[in-house]
A = this chain, B = another copy of it.
Amino acid sequence: MSSSFGKMLTVTIFGQSHGEAIGAVLDGLPAGIRLDFDAIARFMARRAPGGALSTARKEADQPQVLSGLCDGITCGAPLAVMIQNGDHRSHDYDKLRDLPRPMHADYPAAIKYHGCNDIRGGGQFSGRLTAPLCFAGAVAGQLLAQKGITVGAHIAAIHGVEDEPFDPVGIDAETLRRVTAQAFPTLSVQAGERMQREIEAARQSLDSVGGIVECAAVGLPAGIGEPLYESLESRISSLLFSIPAVKGVEFGAGFAAAVMTGSEHNDPFTVQNGVVRTATNRHGGILGGISTGMPVLFRAAFKPTPSIARPQQTVSLSQGCEEPLQIEGRHDPCVVLRAVPCVEAAASLALLDLMLESKGRDQWN
């Protein structure tokens, strides 16, 4: 089992890449909220394939609402959406049941499910399952916006080419909105162009590249999140590691903190206009699992797309011997661009769930 997360707002995601449909059920949305479906479509379009740098597979990805609305307003029933699948070229995948693709889930899934897993297009392991995640994240983002919270991410690096980082202290909603509105979301236009050249070069050489997404949430009040096992970091990382290709997650200074001394790393408290803040933000907006009121900042590392056109070595599960493998079909040489809204969606869902929990308990009196 695997397909649900969240406590006050539980999201269940279903589907296989080449099945009838994929979708999501959002259970626990407050009633009485008018959703902006144009904004949801714009958010999902950021994840959809299409640009010159992405896969040629066309997906309509039009979410069809099955329940949860009445006259366009949330009504207390679970919000269920379905996205029809189509445009299958399933024959591309036929041989893969015997020849697991390196760095894909094919082999462990074959063991786990006794060879009954859906191998077409990656089945339930496909990156396509992030479409309903983005739908859910877009909805969560609209509720967060009601409370003055903005979540946004940019491409921090592609194959070693780095963008400027977010200003950990000064990052604001306007900057987040501006960068996420770009077709290629980087703070530095030049860095973005260099990254796109890296991706194109990978495509030309029948290879792929990885990268890093940096995400920020601003406007989150202090006091959200729970200590220990429902910490903001636990919840956000748990969702991030559910996105295919994520290999690492770090908050604030992250791995760099490991080479610092305490006197270098500690953020001094300060007061600005009567509000407690920190002068620097190496803590990433979270202490003890709870938001501090500073921008929440984290980064997720994505591996290079495993499906590359170059010949690779695998094994024949039926023959028990090594076999060469040539992967066909259309594949992104880099998933990072399309992963940006997925990272935002994961953060938005974790934040909203913990805000609902905090509202219920911390505001009891």
Chain B nearest Cβ from A273, distance in angstroms = 10
Over the window 234-268 of chain A, the binary record of Cβ atoms lying under 8 Å from chain B Cβ atoms (1 yes, 0 no) is 11011101101011111111110111111111111
Over the window 12-47 of chain A, the binary record of Cβ atoms lying under 8 Å from chain B Cβ atoms (1 yes, 0 no) is 111110011111010111111100000000000000
A183 within 8 A of B: no
Partner of A12, one of B74, B78, B257: B78
Interface contact A251-B248, CB-CB below 8 Å: yes
A76 within 8 A of B: yes
Interface contact B67-A32, CB-CB below 8 Å: no
Partner of A74, one of B30, B109, B116, B210: B116
Interface contact B1-A230, CB-CB below 8 Å: yes
Docked Cα-Cα span, A160 to B69, in Å, equals: 41
A contact patch SS = mixed
Docked Cα-Cα span, A66 to B276, in Å, equals: 33
Interface contact B361-A356, CB-CB below 8 Å: yes
Interface contact B226-A31, CB-CB below 8 Å: no
Interface contact B4-A103, CB-CB below 8 Å: no
Docked Cα-Cα span, A255 to B238, in Å, equals: 17
Interface contact A82-B109, CB-CB below 8 Å: no
**5 A-B pairs with the lowest CB-CB distances in the bound complex, closest first:** A105-B288, A360-B360, A248-B250, A208-B262, A30-B364
Interface contact B227-A124, CB-CB below 8 Å: yes
Chain B nearest Cβ from A242, distance in angstroms = 5
Interface contact B253-A247, CB-CB below 8 Å: yes
Interface segment, A50-58, A170-178, A305-313? A305-313
Interface centre among A23, A103, A125, by most B CB within 10 Å? A103
Docked Cα-Cα span, A261 to B306, in Å, equals: 9
CB closest chain-B residue, reference A277: B315
Docked Cα-Cα span, A340 to B20, in Å, equals: 31
Docked Cα-Cα span, A253 to B106, in Å, equals: 20
Interface contact B67-A21, CB-CB below 8 Å: yes
Chain B positions within 8 Å of A357 at CB level: 1, 8, 360
Interface contact B237-A249, CB-CB below 8 Å: yes
Q: How many copies does the complex hold?
A: 4
Docked Cα-Cα span, A257 to B306, in Å, equals: 11
Interface contact B290-A108, CB-CB below 8 Å: yes
A186 within 8 A of B: no
Chain B positions within 8 Å of A258 at CB level: 157, 159-160, 210-212, 247-248, 301-303
Interface contact B315-A262, CB-CB below 8 Å: no
Docked Cα-Cα span, A73 to B116, in Å, equals: 7
A117-B76, A270-B315 known; A14 vs B105 contact (CB < 8 Å): no
Over the window 87-130 of chain A, the binary record of Cβ atoms lying under 8 Å from chain B Cβ atoms (1 yes, 0 no) is 00000000000001011111111011111111110011100010
Chain B positions within 8 Å of A114 at CB level: 31-32, 362, 365
CB closest chain-B residue, reference A316: B271
CB closest chain-B residue, reference A75: B118
Chain B positions within 8 Å of A112 at CB level: 31, 76, 222-224, 290, 358, 362
Interface contact A66-B14, CB-CB below 8 Å: yes
Interface contact A250-B301, CB-CB below 8 Å: yes
**Contact sample, A vs B, 6 pairs, CB 8 Å cutoff:** A1-B8, A15-B66, A32-B365, A70-B119, A113-B362, A265-B304
